[in-house]
């Protein structure tokens, strides 16, 4: 073959090779966080710090009262260069201590180009630190009650799948085999007690003024943590719509596949005085919406007591 033809073929090969698609150079790591401690009961807020390549990406506090604190949840490190180090630092605070975290958890790994990996991080009861007790020295972190390396070899991580939340953390209040959401309205401050339509409920004076009744609910097929509960009421005789109550509390497990929530302090007076409301019938409606967007509604007609406790 003539030299000129060889040179032309070589040039053609170089052009084709240079124009071909490059191999994957970026990847993603998803941090999946679960917790043995319940949001709204044992946890009040969580501080989150995310870093990639040593640079701060996010620093935030997720409060329970605004619905931002729920589990399981995900934090994404998306489309980063192969080999980039990523790390997460979590500090979980209880409702009674405003300054000192109940537990701290850290984890880190590295990006593998062309792959999306899942790094599972769990907040465990064994890692709750009592006042005065020592914590794990950096770069270690608490895992299963002991101090372990925070860094995880990315080759040990499993591929990310959105189903990890269901597989890793079965929800007692929303099993995968469950049906449509069910909400049943009852009463009770410390526990759930059933009501029939037009049953009497006790009106109580609030510690900071105002008057209320305690509503409780039983429900199923809605998530245990992060669900938003809204209590509203209408007094048909007066055409009076009571100001709704909106809360985010973790549900307690109950019998028969149900979960429950008690102690919903539903204030009655506002535009109407309590004297106008005593003895009246109230149409109570409770709507629960979970973090998946599923909603259940329960209704009950109740009769307010003639007396105030």
Model confidence pLDDT, tens digit, residues 123-154: 988 899 877 778 898 889 998 888 999 999 99
pLDDT for 97 equals 64
Question: Exposure of 254 by Cβ count < 10 A (0-12 exposed, 13-18 middle, 19+ buried)?
Answer: middle
Residue 164 has pLDDT above 60, yes or no: yes
pLDDT for 80 equals 95
Residue 8 has pLDDT above 80, yes or no: no
Lowest-pLDDT range, 63-72, 186-195, 255-264?
63-72
Output the six-digit token pair for 40: 């709204």
Ordered DSSP codes for 40-72: TTTB-EEEEEEEETTEEEEEEEEETTTT---SS
Average pLDDT, the chain: 88
pLDDT for 168 equals 61
Tokens 């599972």 appear where?
120
What does residue 126 show for φ and ψ, rounded to 5 degrees? Answer: -65, -15
pLDDT for 167 equals 67
Q: What is the mean pLDDT of residues 100-118?
A: 94
Residue 126 DSSP label: G
pLDDT for 179 equals 87
Confidence of residue 6 (pLDDT cuts 50, 70, 90): very low
For the CA atoms of the chain, what is the radius of gyration?
27
Kind of pairing, strands 295-308 and 199-205?
Answer: parallel
Query: Could you give the percent of the chain with pLDDT greater than 90?
Result: 62
How many residues would you count in the chain? 309
**What's the angle, vertex CA 295, arms to CA 232 and CA 162, rounded to 5?**
145
Q: What is the pTM of this model?
A: 0.56
pLDDT for 58 equals 95
pLDDT digits (tens, 9 = 90+) for 262-294: 999 999 999 999 999 999 999 999 999 988 789
CA distance 288 to 223: 10
Closest residue by Cα to residue 116 from 163, 152, 161, 86: 161
Asked if residues 144 and 137 have their Cβ atoms less than 8 Å apart, the reply is no
Q: What is the mean pLDDT of residues 167-193?
A: 86
Q: How far is CA 260 from CA 65, 169, 219, 246, in A?
A: 19, 19, 6, 16
**What do you get for the CA distance between the two ends of the chain, in Å?**
106
Q: What is the mean pLDDT of residues 32-45?
A: 84
pLDDT for 2 equals 47
> In the Cβ-directed half-sphere of 131, how many Cα atoms lie within 13 Å?
5
Confidence of residue 98 (pLDDT cuts 50, 70, 90): low
Closest residue by Cα to residue 166 from 223, 228, 115: 223
Tokens 């597989």 appear where?
167
Confidence of residue 158 (pLDDT cuts 50, 70, 90): very high
């Amino acid at each position: 073959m003539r030299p000129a033809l060889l040179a032309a073929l070589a040039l053609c090969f170089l052009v084709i090779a240079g124009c071909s698609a490059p191999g994957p150079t970026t990847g993603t790591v998803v941090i999946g966080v679960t917790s043995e401690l319940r949001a709204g009961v044992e946890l009040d807020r969580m501080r989150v710090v995310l870093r990639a390549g040593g640079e701060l990406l996010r620093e935030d506090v997720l409060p329970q009262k605004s619905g931002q604190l729920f589990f399981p949840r995900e934090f994404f490190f998306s489309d980063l260069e192969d080999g980039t180090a990523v790390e997460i630092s979590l500090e979980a605070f209880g409702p009674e201590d405003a300054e000192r975290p109940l537990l701290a958890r850290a984890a880190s790994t590295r990006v593998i180009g062309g792959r999306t990996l899942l790094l599972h991080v769990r907040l465990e009861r064994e890692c709750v630190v009592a006042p005065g007790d020592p914590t794990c020295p950096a770069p270690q972190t608490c895992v299963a009650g002991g101090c372990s390396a925070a860094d995880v070899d990315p080759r040990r991580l499993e591929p990310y799948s959105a189903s990890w939340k269901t597989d890793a953390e079965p929800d007692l209040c929303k099993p995968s085999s469950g049906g449509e959401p069910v909400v049943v309205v009852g009463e009770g401050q410390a526990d759930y007690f059933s009501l029939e339509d037009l049953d009497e409920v006790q009106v109580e004076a609030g510690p900071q003024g105002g008057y209320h009744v305690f509503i409780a609910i039983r429900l199923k097929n809605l998530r245990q943590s992060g669900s938003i509960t809204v209590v509203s009421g209408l007094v048909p005789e007066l055409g009076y719509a009571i100001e709704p109550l909106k809360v985010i509390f973790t549900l307690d497990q109950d019998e028969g596949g149900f979960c429950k929530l008690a102690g919903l302090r539903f204030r009655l007076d506002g535009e109407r005085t309590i004297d106008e409301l005593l003895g009246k019938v109230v149409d109570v409606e409770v709507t629960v919406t979970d973090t998946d967007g599923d909603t259940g509604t329960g209704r009950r007609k109740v009769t307010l007591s003639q007396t105030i406790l």
